[in-house]
A and B are shown apart, each in its own frame.
Chain A
Amino acid sequence: MVTLLENFTPLSSFSGGLLIGLAATLLLLFNGRIAGISGIMSGLISPGKGEIFWRLVFLLGLVLGALLVKAVIPDSIKIREGFPYGLLAIGGFLVGFGTRMANGCTSGHAVCGIARLSKRSIAATLTFIVSGMMTVYLLRHLIGLSV
């Protein structure tokens, strides 16, 4: 029992989640937009009129928010080392390809879509969580990747 759930951080995770929920609430209330990060990012590829600046400042805000927490709690940031860049590039490509195909990612589907009880978002969330779990099982426990 000692090693079970040793890295579990329910309180900081729940508090961080409340902030994410607050951000999504304000963006919908004031701007009528869904705080789906993949959608906000991909909307910059061929943007219509008035669709560039708010997306850029939102994404800039993500960076600033992370820096803010780092300034207050310096050891809140862990940077992984030694993970193969090639695997990151392949994985990142699949993240971009898949989220654009499915019209959303963890934020758009799992946080905003489920809040509207959207069947599509519930199905998407279950699918990417199960797919992610199967991928980790395959890589870590069948192939034995140790990074």
Chain B
Amino acid sequence: MKNNTVALLCGIIFGAGLTLSQMTDPAKVLSFLDVTGNWDPSLIFVMLGALTVTMISFRKILKKPSPLLTQRFVIASKTALDKPLILGSAIFGIGWGITGYCPGPSVAGLGLGNIEALIMVCSIYAGFWAYGKMKV
């Protein structure tokens, strides 16, 4: 129960952060990716803000034997740079560059009366499903 409350709270803080930094605005994200156009480096500052916190906190937290409310940390254990990682990231980048949406802002935009967010979330799930089918 407690960990669901934490998850809700973390979602709220995360969604507020995405919106405050205007990452919910696909035009702003696309102007970050448009280096030869009217470039807007704001997205780098979002990453810097987030990493300022996580670079310090993650190191300390992961030294603990376990999280405060659950048994263990669920962290990706792979270390090799393999083809799915690079190819998948390249494909994600194409979708991101076409739309200006990554998954977080797509979900956060659902409550804003934004039909684009709804289309994004549905088609993202279609993409998840298709990859799952292909892989099996």
Contacts and interface: CB of A to CB of B under 8 A. Distances in A.
A43 to B, nearest CB: 10
A12 B93 CA distance: 24
A9 B78 CA distance: 36
Contact of B112 (A79, A130, A141): A79
Given A20-B18, A63-B110, A135-B33, A128 B92 contact: yes
A61 B11 contact: yes
Nearest to B15: A65
A61 B35 contact: no
Contacts, number: 494
A111 to B, nearest CB: 5
Interface of A: 3, 5-10, 12-35, 37-38, 41-42, 45-46, 53-55, 57-70, 73, 76-80, 83, 85, 87-107, 109-116, 118-120, 123-125, 127-137, 139-141
A96 B4 contact: no
A39 to B, nearest CB: 9
Contacts of A35: 10, 14
Q: Chain B interface secondary structure, helix, strand, loop or mixed?
A: helix
Interface residues of B, number: 116
Contacts of A46: 132
Given A29-B68, A136-B34, A13 B49 contact: yes
Task: Report which residue of B52, B67, B107 has the largest number of chain A beta carbons within 10 angstroms of its beta carbon.
Answer: B107
Contact of B19 (A24, A37, A77): A77
A24 B73 CA distance: 13
A101 B130 CA distance: 10
Q: Chain A interface secondary structure, helix, strand, loop or mixed?
A: helix
Contacts of A136: 30, 33-34, 37, 97
A77 B108 CA distance: 11
Interface string B58-84: 110110001111111111101111001
Nearest to B46: A17
Interface of B: 2-4, 6-28, 30-31, 33-43, 45-55, 57-59, 61-62, 66-76, 78-81, 84-104, 106-116, 119-132
Given A6-B38, A23-B10, A41 B107 contact: yes
Contacts of B57: 21, 25, 28-29, 115
A89 B66 CA distance: 40
A13 B22 CA distance: 7
Given A25-B53, A68-B16, A57 B123 contact: no
Top 9 nearest A-B pairs (CB, nearest first) are A61-B11, A17-B49, A96-B127, A65-B15, A16-B21, A131-B93, A135-B97, A21-B53, A92-B123
